């Protein structure tokens, strides 16, 4: 008997404008705030060769002024309305978003519409944001131990094509070669209204909001939308190994990547993989915490997650399950790997303990619900599920789908994670003192 | 071409729903603050236990206690305890700083009482089993090593040491050698002497009525006993100011600049004005410091200035990571912006912007169960509660230009700061010495 798991409930009103912009509006009157998110269907994977990091650099340019707004005005309008903003670049999409007091709803819609018409791409703005992005990479990657590990370095071992394997933050040389012409082309090609999803949630009236959206976005010219290529790659047929020297790291680390089922086309199988990752490392009762941390003392910490950023629903095919650990120099990597293999085999062959699956999925639903409490997170989740999975409503159905996963499904998922189809990236610590 | 578009005005502010809340002090001295906040069917929990101590061996023991307090209780071993919490759709974790230990958690709303029972077993009958303590002791040493490999951690630690000397506030991170000597017996003793209900506060925020939450807390935690512990720590020393300390990190591609000074707490009449002046300086993206260093010069991904509130005093802290080559110019611009804010008036437009931002973001940060619970837990030691979330916006709106400029003059003069920078000394020391007195 599958357990009864609580599910989020929400109302979603959907409409597509004549220019192709897909719109979702979701009223929720619990707090006087609104969230606005625009997701464009372009991420790291669509960057041209020789332009690694360009999707992210371009994201910065979208904040540098637009058709009506001077540089700095976007920030000022959001913040002087009492709101916050940001944007982020992912493997398959790029998002732009605001959390605002409810009385700034129309202003927020205007700001997003204005840059959907076109950002102010100038030499000066490009040069300035190039420096900002390089400093972002310095602070998060180059100057920090374990910087970007493993999301930046593991794809190069796990995947073959440029689209899937390159560094999404970008190399400095590629970033420096970027031009304003590249930026204009990128905007023309990928930022058409028909290539975007707009979601608005919070303390609002759905009809009024839909009318405001029509008013502000309706006259943005329809443009051709790019056909998204398949980024699929054949499965690995032999183990791959790579090393990553990290002169700042005091102790070694490892990331083990496995290909997983297509998150969109094979959602049920993906959920089995997600539950497996929770069985392996969620909390002190999990398999790898017990074995690697508590019993054998092989690692300092270990985590297993689906999705290269740790969100299983954030990417289309291909994506990965990653097991990542920091470990003391006294641990031998091959002992660590074979111990992980033993634990995977225990799940694959011995199945789950009584109650294990239910406690793990009950907790996972708690985590998901908690994420949806903030209006902005909810807005972003709606947009992501609509863009990546085709239906925002799937978000509310996930607990039910999770309840349908069986212990045998998790066993089967574990059986697919084998030494001969994994990519192992060893971080070599150079910072021991 | 149609006529130019105009940015739409703000409409009438929406009135927030009134929160239903209730506060009770149980017979054992535990304060319970409960707020009904619908949204998702969960409850957030924060148990804040005062933990300030001036004993030199305290930081290592306190930190290891936080790592091990959840490794078994009341006959359940580590794994069984974790499984019991997980089965409720819940979570518990422990954090510590010089002021307090906080047990943070959340749970599916119907399971609140069961999670509180688990919490009660943790505070009343913790295991501190030898094997678990030894495992966590080794791990904590490794984690401290990882933390101190980060330049941001090195810089922040160096600044607090320079500001507070050997006061407990300068020892937020324990020393590995001290950790390595802590025994299970010492953890049990520390737990017995400080993990007590009197003086602690339990905050519950979620989709349950306040009355039911308080009843659940009383039924589960009412049997937790122990008199209010005596916590004594010396007053905070005055940060000395003085030369900029340059800490060498060879090969560093950025420099981490930290500057700090005393500020005033939320209860001070000048606090609202100071909060607004801080936003103008570097507390939000539109701030002068961010616009200058990032959006004009591209020296950094982002500078931040913030007010931090500790039980013994509040501080104003500035932090920025800048590219090594522009370390001295970045300091120059920072000193310029500090001096400009302290010496010249803030504009009407700037004031209006920071007032809206401060009010709006307070509403956003308390619009979630987790955000509201954390805010209430942080406010409690200062005698502030749910009411402050409504009254503070009034103070922010009432602040005048003169008051904000006066706060800016009092707190932002560059000479009032104590400063450190962590970076590649061979590349930055000479340039910095041209601008300010330095020492290594």
Sign of CA dihedral A381, A387, A393, A395: negative
**CB nearest B286 (choices: A33, A76, A104):** A76
Q: Which residues of A touch B39 (CB under 8 A)?
A: 30-31, 373
**DSSP conformation letters of A380-428:** HHHHHHHHHHS-TTHHHHHHHHHHT--HHHHHHHHHT--GGGEEEEEEE
Find the CB nearest A251 among B10, B142, B291. Answer: B142
Interface of B with A in 181-210 (CB under 8 A): none
The full DSSP string for B376-404 is: HHHHGGGT--HHHHHHHHHHHHH--HHHH
B321 and A366 within 8 Å at the Cβ level: the answer is: no
**Which residues 100-139 of chain B have a CB within 8 Å of chain A?**
106-108, 132, 135, 138-139
> Which chain A residues are closer than 8 Å to B176 by Cβ?
none
pLDDT digits (tens, 9 = 90+) for B124-172: 999 999 999 999 999 999 999 999 999 999 999 999 999 999 999 999 8
Contacts of B234 (CB under 8 A, 6+ apart): B54, B167
**B16–chain A nearest CA distance, Å:** 6
Of A1-5, A182-186, A361-365, B21-25, the range with the lowest mean pLDDT is A1-5
Residue B292 has pLDDT above 60, yes or no: yes
Among A31, A80, A146, beta carbon nearest to B357: A80
- Residue from B5, B47, B232 nearest A73 by CA: B5
Interchain proximity B352–A81, CB inside 8 Å: no
Q: Tokens representing A407?
A: 């212990």
C-beta atoms of A72 and B291 within 8 A: yes
Query: Is A135 close to B89, i.e. CB distance below 8 A?
Result: no
What would the mean pLDDT of B192-205 be, rounded to a whole number? 97
Question: How many Å apart are CA B232 and CA A271, to the nearest integer?
Answer: 52
Closest among B137, B193, B56 to A328, alpha carbons compared: B137
Q: Are B356 and A82 in contact (CB under 8 A)?
A: yes
Q: Is the dihedral of CA B172, B175, B180, B183 positive or negative?
A: negative
Q: Quickly state the pLDDT bin for A433 (edges 50, 70, 90).
A: very low
Q: What is the three-class DSSP state of A165?
A: helix
pLDDT at B188: 98
In CATH terms, B20-221 corresponds, of 3.30.830.10, 3.40.50.720, 1.10.30.50, 3.40.640.10, to: 3.30.830.10
Per-residue confidence at A2, pLDDT binned at 50, 70, 90? low
Binary contact (B360, A369; C-beta < 8 A): no
Chain B partners within 8 Å of A141 (Cβ) = none
Contact A193, A17 (CB under 8 A): yes
Determine contact, residues B205/B373, Cβ cutoff 8 Å.
Answer: yes
Specify which of A3-7, A429-433, B53-57 reaches the highest per-range mean pLDDT. Answer: B53-57
Let me know: does B342 contact B281? Beta carbons within 8 Å: no
Given an 8 Å threshold on Cβ–Cβ distance, is B368 in contact with A369?
Answer: no
B345 SS3 class: coil
> Across the interface, do B367 and A127 touch by the CB < 8 Å criterion?
no
On the question of pLDDT at B3 being above 80, the answer is: no
- What are the pLDDT digits (tens) for A187-235? 999 999 999 999 999 999 999 999 999 999 999 999 999 999 999 999 9
Determine whether the interchain pair B13/A431 forms a contact, defined as Cβ–Cβ distance below 8 Å: no
Residue-averaged pLDDT of chain B: 96
Distance CA B372, CA B359 (A): 15
* DSSP single-letter state for residue A230: P
d(CA B303, CA B301): 7
Q: Quote the minimal CA–CA distance from A33 to chain B in Å.
A: 7
Q: Would the CB atoms of A294 and B38 count as touching at under 8 Å?
A: no
| Alpha carbon distance B287, B280 (integer Å) | 5
pLDDT, average across residues B371-388:
97
Residue B233: which pLDDT band, with cuts at 50, 70 and 90? confident
pLDDT value, residue B1: 45
Residue A231: CB atoms within 10 Å: 17
What span, in angstroms and rounded, lies between the C-alpha atoms of B413 and A10? 51
The pLDDT assigned to B5 comes to: 87
User: For the range B336-339, what are the long-range contacts, defined as Cβ-Cβ under 8 Å and sequence gap of 24 or more?
Assistant: B337/B281, B337/B282, B337/B288, B337/B289, B337/B292, B338/B281, B338/B412, B338/B413, B338/B414, B338/B417, B339/B413, B339/B414
List the single residue in B with minimal CA-CA distance to A125.
Answer: B295
Question: Chain B: nearest CA to A98, how far in angstroms?
Answer: 11
Classified as helix, coil or strand, A187 is helix
* B139: nearest CB among A130, A284, A300: A300
Task: Tell me where in chain B the CATH 3.30.830.10 domain(s) lie.
Answer: 20-221, 244-439
Q: Are strands A33-40 and A196-202 parallel, antiparallel or unpaired?
A: antiparallel
Percent of chain B past pLDDT 90, that is, above it, reads 95
**CB < 8 Å from A in window 341-380 of B:** 352-353, 356-357, 359-361, 363-364, 367-371
Secondary element (H or E) of residue A232:
none
**How many interface pairs between A and B have CB atoms less than 8 angstroms apart?**
235
Q: How far is A165 from chain B (nearest CA, A)?
A: 26
Q: Do A247 and B251 touch (CB under 8 A)?
A: yes
Domain B244-439 has CATH 3.30.830.10: yes
Q: Is the CB of residue B269 less than 8 Å away from at least one CB of chain A?
A: no
Q: Where are the beta strands (DSSP E) in A227-330?
A: 240-246, 253-259, 301-306, 320-326
Question: Rg (Cα) of chain B, in Å, rounded?
Answer: 24
Report residue A254: phi and psi, to 5°: -145, 150
Cα nearest neighbour of B12 on chain A: A103
CB contact under 8 A, B10 and A103: yes
Cross-chain Cβ contact A363/B291 below 8 Å: no
- Rounded to a whole number of angstroms, the distance from the CA of A134 to the nearest CA of chain B is 8
Sign of CA pseudo-dihedral A58, A62, A64, A70: positive
**Could you tell me if B153 lies within 8 Å of chain A, comparing CB atoms?**
no
pTM of the predicted model as reported, rounded to 2 decimal places: 0.97
The strand pairing partners of B258, in sequence order, are B319, B420
Alpha-carbon distance B190 to nearest alpha carbon in chain A (angstroms): 23
Where would I find the beta strands (DSSP E) of B118-237?
201-206
Q: Which of A33, A138, A301 sits opposite B363 (nearest CB)?
A: A33
3-state secondary structure of B421: strand
Interface test with A, best of B20, B149, B279, B427 (most A CBs within 10 A): B149
Q: What is the mean pLDDT of residues B262-289?
A: 98
- Residue reference for tokens 């904000």: B404
Residue A106: which of B11, B39, B284 has the nearest Cβ? Answer: B11
Say if the Cβ atoms of A6 and B108 lie within 8 Å: yes
Tokens 């540098």 locate to A64
Please judge whether A32 and B13 are an interchain contact, meaning their C-beta atoms are less than 8 angstroms apart: yes
**What domains are there in chain A, each with its CATH number?**
13-217 (3.30.830.10), 240-429 (3.30.830.10)
- Mean pLDDT, chain A, as a whole number? 96
Q: Where are the alpha helices (DSSP H) in B254-326?
A: 271-278, 288-290
Cα Rg for chain A, rounded, in angstroms? 22
- With a pLDDT cut of 90, the percent of chain A lying above it is 97
pLDDT in tens, A337-378: 999 999 999 999 999 999 999 999 999 999 999 999 999 999
Please name the residues in contact with A236: beta carbons below 8 A apart, sequence gap of 6 or more: A158, A259, A420, A421, A422, A423
* Contact (CB<8Å) B17/A8: no
Q: Which one of B349, B364, B369 makes the best mutation probe of the A interface by having the most chain A beta carbons within 10 Å?
A: B364
Neighbours of A216 (CB within 10 A): 22
ipTM: 0.96
What mean pLDDT do residues A23-28 have?
97
């Amino acid at each position: 008997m599958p357990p009864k798991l609580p599910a989020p409930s929400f109302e979603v009103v959907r409409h597509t404008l004549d220019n192709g912009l897909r719109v979702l509006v979701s009223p929720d009157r619990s707090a006087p705030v609104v969230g606005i998110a625009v997701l464009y269907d372009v991420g790291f994977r669509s960057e041209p060769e020789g332009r690694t990091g360009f999707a992210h650099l371009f994201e910065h340019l979208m904040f540098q002024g637009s058709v009506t707004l001077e540089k700095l005005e976007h920030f000022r309008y959001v913040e002087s309305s009492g709101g916050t903003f940001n944007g982020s670049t992912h493997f398959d999409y790029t998002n732009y978003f605001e959390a605002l007091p409810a009385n700034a709803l129309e202003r927020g819609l205007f700001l997003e519409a204005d840059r959907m018409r076109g950002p102010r791409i100038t030499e000066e703005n490009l040069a300035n944001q190039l420096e900002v992005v390089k400093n972002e990479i310095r602070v998060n990657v180059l100057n920090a131990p374990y910087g970007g590990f493993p999301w930046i370095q593991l794809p190069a071992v796990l995947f073959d094509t440029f689209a899937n394997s390159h560094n999404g933050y970008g190399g400095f040389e590629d970033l420096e070669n970027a031009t304003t012409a590249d930026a204009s082309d990128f905007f023309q090609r990928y930022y058409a209204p028909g290539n975007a999803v707009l979601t608005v949630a919070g303390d609002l009236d759905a009809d009024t909001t839909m009318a405001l959206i029509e008013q502000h976005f309706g006259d943005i010219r329809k443009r051709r939308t790019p056909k998204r290529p398949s980024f699929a790659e054949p499965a690995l047929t032999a183990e791959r190994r790579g090393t990553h020297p990290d002169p700042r790291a005091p102790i070694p680390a490892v990331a083990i990547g496995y290909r997983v089922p297509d998150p969109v086309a094979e959602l049920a199988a993906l959920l089995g993989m997600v539950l497996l990752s929770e069985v392996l490392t969620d909390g002190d009762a999990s398999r790898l915490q017990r074995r690697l941390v508590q019993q054998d003392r092989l690692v300092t910490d270990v985590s297993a997650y689906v999705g290269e950023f740790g969100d299983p629903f954030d990417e289309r095919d291909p994506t990965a399950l990653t097991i990542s650990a920091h470990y003391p120099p006294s641990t031998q990597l091959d002992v660590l790997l074979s111990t992980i293999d033993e634990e995977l085999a225990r799940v694959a062959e011995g199945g789950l303990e009584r109650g294990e699956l239910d406690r793990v999925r009950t907790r996972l639903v708690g985590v998901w619900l908690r994420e949806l409490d903030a209006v902005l997170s909810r807005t972003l989740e709606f947009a992501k599920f609509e863009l990546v999975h085709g239906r925002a409503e799937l978000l509310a159905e996930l607990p039910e789908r999770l309840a349908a996963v069986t212990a045998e499904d998790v066993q089967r998922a574990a059986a697919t994670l084998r030494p001969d189809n994994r990519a192992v990236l060893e971080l070599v610590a150079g910072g021991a003192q | 071409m149609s006529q130019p578009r105009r940015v739409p005005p703000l409409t009438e502010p929406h009135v927030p729903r009134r929160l239903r809340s209730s506060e009770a002090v149980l017979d054992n001295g535990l304060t319970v603050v409960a707020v009904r906040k619908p949204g998702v069917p969960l409850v957030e929990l924060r148990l804040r236990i005062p933990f300030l101590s001036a004993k030199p061996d305290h930081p290592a023991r306190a930190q290891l206690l936080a790592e091990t307090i959840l490794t078994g209780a009341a006959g359940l071993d580590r794994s069984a305890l974790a499984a019991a919490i997980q089965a409720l759709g819940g979570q518990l974790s422990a954090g510590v700083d010089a002021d307090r230990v906080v047990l943070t958690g959340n749970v599916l709303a119907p399971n609140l009482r069961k999670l509180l029972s688990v919490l009660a077993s943790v505070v009343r009958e913790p295991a501190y089993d030898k094997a678990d303590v030894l495992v966590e002791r080794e791990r904590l040493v490794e984690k401290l090593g990882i933390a101190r490999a980060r330049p941001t951690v090195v810089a922040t630690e160096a600044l607090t040491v320079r500001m507070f000397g050997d006061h407990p506030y300068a020892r937020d991170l324990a020393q590995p050698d001290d950790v390595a000597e802590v025994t299970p017996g010492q953890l049990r003793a520390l737990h017995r002497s400080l993990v007590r209900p009197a003086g602690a506060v339990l905050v519950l925020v979620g989709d349950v009525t306040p009355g039911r939450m308080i009843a659940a807390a009383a039924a589960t935690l009412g049997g937790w006993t122990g008199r209010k512990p005596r916590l004594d720590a010396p007053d905070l020393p005055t940060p000395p100011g003085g030369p900029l300390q340059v800490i060498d990190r060879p090969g560093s591609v950025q420099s981490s600049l930290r500057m700090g000074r005393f500020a005033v707490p939320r209860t001070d009449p000048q606090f609202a004005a100071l909060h607004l002046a801080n936003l103008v300086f570097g507390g939000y993206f539109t701030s002068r410091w961010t616009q200058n260093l990032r959006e004009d010069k591209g020296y950094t991904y982002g500078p931040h200035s913030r007010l931090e509130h500790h039980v013994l005093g509040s501080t104003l802290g500035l932090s920025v990571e800048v590219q090594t080559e522009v370390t001295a110019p970045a300091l120059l611009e920072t000193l310029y912006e500090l001096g400009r804010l302290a010496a010249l008036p803030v504009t009407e437009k700037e004031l209006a912007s920071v007032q809206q931002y401060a009010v709006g973001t307070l509403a956003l940060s308390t619009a979630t169960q987790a955000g509201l619970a954390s805010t209430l837990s942080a406010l409690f030691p200062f005698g502030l509660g749910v009411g402050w979330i409504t009254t503070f916006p009034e103070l922010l709106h009432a602040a005048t230009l003169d008051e904000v400029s006066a706060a800016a003059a009092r707190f932002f003069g560059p000479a009032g700061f104590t400063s450190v920078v962590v970076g590649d000394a061979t590349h930055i020391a000479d340039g910095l010495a041209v601008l300010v007195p330095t020492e290594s």
